[in-house]
Each structure stands twice: as structure tokens, then as C-alpha cells.
């Protein structure tokens, strides 16, 4: 026992050789895995990224200690940081610039006629040559055309192909200047603003959209709970516009506030057309009453400020009226009837139907065919299902002439704001044309 104690309890040979001093032990390599109790968190956390809908990164990618695959690392490395502050709204939508919207690309004779309307006003023999043009660009039916009053060489068209086309009609170069792709469904109507290069359009995506034509940018969207079929600017205030839709609701919007300022609600069918009277105190609307069999509501005259109907027994025949237009100076308005005629009404109470005069000879045949007055009110023009443009004398109701423009139905017609014998039209087969009457 004593021998064992001396052997194991004494100093080692190394201690004896070094004078009893303990040698420092060699430094061993650290273990391959760190113990969890010695794990220290990183003081600087991983950078945070805002959600980007174009990537499929999960929120767990920023958790410390989580395994991140090479694919995730590459995606995180290429993801752009979003700076703090307000985010960019989902719109404005932009549209490609295809051509020039300036009048500098027009032929000299047409440019002179546009700048001096007395050269062609009322004198057909002095009309410049080359005014008749066929404009190809829409792939489906075209519902509406409208001339710009401030830039009389520009024409807008709205189609079932979800586009609004802006045409520099007599340009020597590209005639299709803009294709506005802001709508997500078919476009029903389009109107030029009286203020600058803006158009207002509406359609089956339940919106009205204000678009800057010069920049090709959508500036405002006005959403509704109904398909919007018609829009009209207020005649005295370009900051207000009227919209009518599939649920029978009429609304006046303030563009500056982006809100409805007047609403006209009645148990109506879809609004087919609506028009401000010349004094801007009333609205005349037509609606589809075929399902209710109550024809007395097909035309309603509204008081704008009081938001009440002044008369709903204007028209009692069992036909729908796809178009309404007010005379520019006389107290009367006209309505296109599916009975293949244009009816005449008074804009004064009790807003009676003229039972002795009408414009007839063209055919409607169920198409949404529109009619219009000339600027001086001397002529009435209308499209027709037989592909002709019909021109009537406003006072005598006699047919002056008819012009063959399409093989299919001619849907909309509008006379030029400067040259009164020039008319733009569109067809059910997707064509747009400009002709001389």
C-alpha cells in the first residue's frame, strides 16, 4: 500500500525534470460545433427587406440561425431595398407613344383650314383634299368616337378591345398617335376634356379613367359598383363629369376631390345615355326598361341641384333609346329610337314629344347607334345598321344625303368642330373613318 501511494501520489517525471514547475498545456483546436450555452447573438441584426410581390421569399429568411439555401441567398442578394417613406401608388398606368400629336405633321392645306375655319365653313367646294381617311387599329367593335375641340386634328375612339386610340387624323406620318391601355375590360365611351390634352373614358371594368394624352399617363381612377356605360363633362365646369351605369345610377363626380357630389337614384334599368341641357340645370337620361315593361321611365329629366326627377312620362312607346342629344341653341332634344326613327322632344316642361315630326329612313335594328347635331344645329346625323351615315335637315326632317362607309353597322357619328362637312364615324366591325358629307 505504501508503495502504491509513493508511485501514484508523487510528482511526475516531467515535474522533476523542470524543477517542480507546471508546464503550459498545448492549445487544442476548438470543437467543430459550438455549445449552445456559449452561443452569443449578433448585435447587428440582418437587414430587413420590404415585401416585394415579384419575389417568393418567405418571412423566415431573416431569422438568425435558420438554414438558407443557395437559391434563397441569390434571391435575397438580388432583391432591391425599398426606401422608407410613402410608396408609389399602383397607378399611373403608362401607354406607349406611337406617333406625334402635334399639328406640325399635317399637310399645309389641311392645317390652314383648321386654323381658319372661314375657308371651309359652309363652302363644300373649298374643302381641302385628302380629308377622307380610314383609320385601322382596333381589333373589335368600336363604341364611340369624339373630336377634340381644342386640338381639332385629334380624334379619340373607344373599343371593345379594351383600348382607347388617339388618332392624329391627317398626319403625314403615323396616324395612330397613342394606344391607351388603362382599362381592364371593354371600353364603352370616351370624351375629350375642354381643358388641355385629357380624355375621360369608361367601361366594363366599372371605372371611369382620366388620362393625360400627351404623356400617355392615367392620372385618376373613379371606381363604381356598376359597369359604366356613358360619361359626359359638365358644359360649364370641366372639373365635373356625369357617369351612368348598368345599375341605373347617375352620378356627378368632382375630379378635384375624386368624389361623387350628386347622385340620382331611381328604380331604373341600365343607363343607355345621358346628356346635360344647354343651361346645365338639368340632365336627360335614357334607360333600358325592357325587363320591367314600364316604358314611362325610358326617358327621365332630372333637376341637377335637387337630385329629383322632373318628369318620367316623356316617352311611352315600347322602344329603348340608345342615344340622346340636345340642340345647341333651340329648346329641344332628340332621341334615337329602336323603332328606326329619331324622336324630337322639348327641353321645356312638360318635355313633350313632337308627335308630328321625326327623322326616319335609317335603321337601328337593336344596335347602340348614336345620333348628333351639327354645331350650328342645322343638321342631324346618325349612323345606321346598313353601314350608311344619314344626314337630315334639322328643321324640315328631310333626308339631305346618305354616305356608304361600312359593310356592317355604323355605330357612332360626330361632326368636326371646325369643318362642319367633315364627319368621323366608327363601326361594329372595328373600323374608324373620317368622311366628307
Predicted local confidence at residue 329, as pLDDT = 95
Residue with cell 396616324: 175
Widest Cα–Cα separation across the chain: 146
Q: Which residues of the chain have pLDDT under 70?
A: 1-92, 94-96, 117-127, 290-296
Phi/psi for 179 (5° steps) reads -125, 110
d(CA 67, CA 59): 13
Domains of the chain are 103-436 (2.130.10.10)
Residue 389 near residue 347, CB atoms below 8 Å: no
Report pLDDT digits (tens) over 315-368: 888 899 999 999 999 999 999 999 999 999 999 999 999 999 999 999 999 999
Q: What is the DSSP letter of 2?
A: H
**Predicted local confidence at residue 112, as pLDDT:** 84
Instruction: Give the per-residue pLDDT at 255.
Output: 97
73 backbone φψ class: left, alpha, beta (φ>0; ψ -120 to 50):
alpha
Distances (CA, A) of 6 to 19, 342, 345, 413: 19, 132, 133, 124
CB 333 within 8 A of CB 285: no
**Residue 72: predicted pLDDT:** 62
* Torsion 330-322-255-162 (CA) sign: negative
Cell of 399: 333626308
CA distances for 84 relative to 48, 49, 87, 367, angstroms: 12, 11, 8, 53
Q: What are phi and psi of 72, to 5 degrees?
A: -65, -40
Helix, strand and coil content of the chain, in percent to the nearest 5, comes to 10, 35, 55
What's the confidence (pLDDT) of residue 195?
A: 84
Residue 142 grid coordinates? 368600336
Q: What is the pLDDT of residue 297?
A: 79
Amino acid at each position: 500500500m505504501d508503495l502504491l501511494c509513493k508511485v501514484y501520489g508523487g510528482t511526475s517525471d516531467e515535474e522533476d525534470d523542470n524543477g517542480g514547475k507546471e508546464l503550459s498545456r498545448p492549445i487544442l483546436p476548438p470543437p467543430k460545433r459550438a455549445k449552445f450555452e456559449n452561443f452569443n447573438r449578433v448585435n447587428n441584426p440582418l437587414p430587413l427587406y420590404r415585401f416585394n410581390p415579384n419575389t417568393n421569399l418567405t418571412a423566415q429568411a431573416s431569422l438568425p440561425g435558420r438554414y438558407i439555401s443557395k437559391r434563397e441567398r441569390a434571391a435575397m442578394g438580388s432583391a432591391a431595398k425599398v426606401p422608407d417613406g410613402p410608396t408609389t401608388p399602383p397607378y399611373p398606368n403608362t401607354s406607349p407613344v406611337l406617333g406625334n400629336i402635334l399639328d406640325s405633321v399635317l399637310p399645309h392645306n389641311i392645317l390652314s383650314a383648321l386654323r381658319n375655319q372661314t375657308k371651309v365653313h359652309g363652302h363644300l367646294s373649298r374643302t381641302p383634299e385628302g380629308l377622307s381617311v380610314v383609320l385601322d387599329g382596333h381589333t373589335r367593335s368600336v363604341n364611340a368616337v369624339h373630336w377634340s375641340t381644342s386640338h381639332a386634328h385629334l380624334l379619340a375612339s373607344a373599343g371593345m378591345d379594351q383600348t382607347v386610340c388617339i388618332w392624329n387624323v391627317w398626319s403625314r406620318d403615323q396616324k395612330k398617335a397613342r394606344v391607351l391601355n388603362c382599362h381592364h375590360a371593354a371600353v364603352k365611351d370616351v370624351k375629350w376634356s375642354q381643358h388641355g390634352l385629357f380624355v375621360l373614358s369608361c367601361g366594363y371594368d366599372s371605372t371611369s379613367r382620366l388620362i393625360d394624352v400627351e404623356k400617355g399617363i392615367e392620372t385618376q381612377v373613379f371606381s363604381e359598383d356598376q359597369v359604366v356605360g356613358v360619361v359626359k363633362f359638365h358644359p360649364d365646369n370641366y372639373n365635373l363629369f356625369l357617369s351612368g351605369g348598368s345599375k341605373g345610377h347617375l352620378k356627378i363626380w368632382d375630379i378635384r376631390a375624386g368624389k361623387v357630389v350628386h347622385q340620382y337614384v331611381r328604380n331604373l334599368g341600365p343607363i343607355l345615355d345621358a346628356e346635360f341641357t344647354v343651361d346645365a340645370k338639368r340632365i336627360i337620361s335614357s334607360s333600358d326598361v325592357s325587363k320591367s315593361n314600364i316604358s314611362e321611365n325610358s326617358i327621365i329629366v332630372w333637376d341637377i341641384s335637387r337630385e329629383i326627377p322632373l318628369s318620367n312620362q316623356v316617352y311611352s312607346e315600347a322602344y329603348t333609346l340608345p342615344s340622346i342629344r340636345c340642340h345647341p341653341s333651340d329648346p329641344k332634344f332628340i332621341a334615337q329610337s329602336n323603332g328606326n326613327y329619331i324622336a324630337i322632344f322639348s327641353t321645356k316642361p312638360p318635355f313633350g314629344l313632337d308627335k308630328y315630326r321625326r327623322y326616319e329612313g335609317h335603321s337601328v335594328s337593336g344596335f347602340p347607334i348614336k345620333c348628333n347635331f351639327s354645331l350650328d344645329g342645322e343638321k342631324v346625323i346618325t349612323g345606321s345598321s346598313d353601314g350608311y351615315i344619314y344626314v337630315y335637315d334639322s328643321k324640315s326632317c328631310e333626308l339631305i344625303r346618305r354616305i356608304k362607309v361600312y359593310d356592317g353597322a355604323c355605330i357612332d357619328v360626330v361632326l368636326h368642330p371646325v369643318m362642319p362637312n367633315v364627319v368621323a364615324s366608327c363601326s361594329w366591325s372595328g373600323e374608324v373613318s373620317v368622311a366628307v358629307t
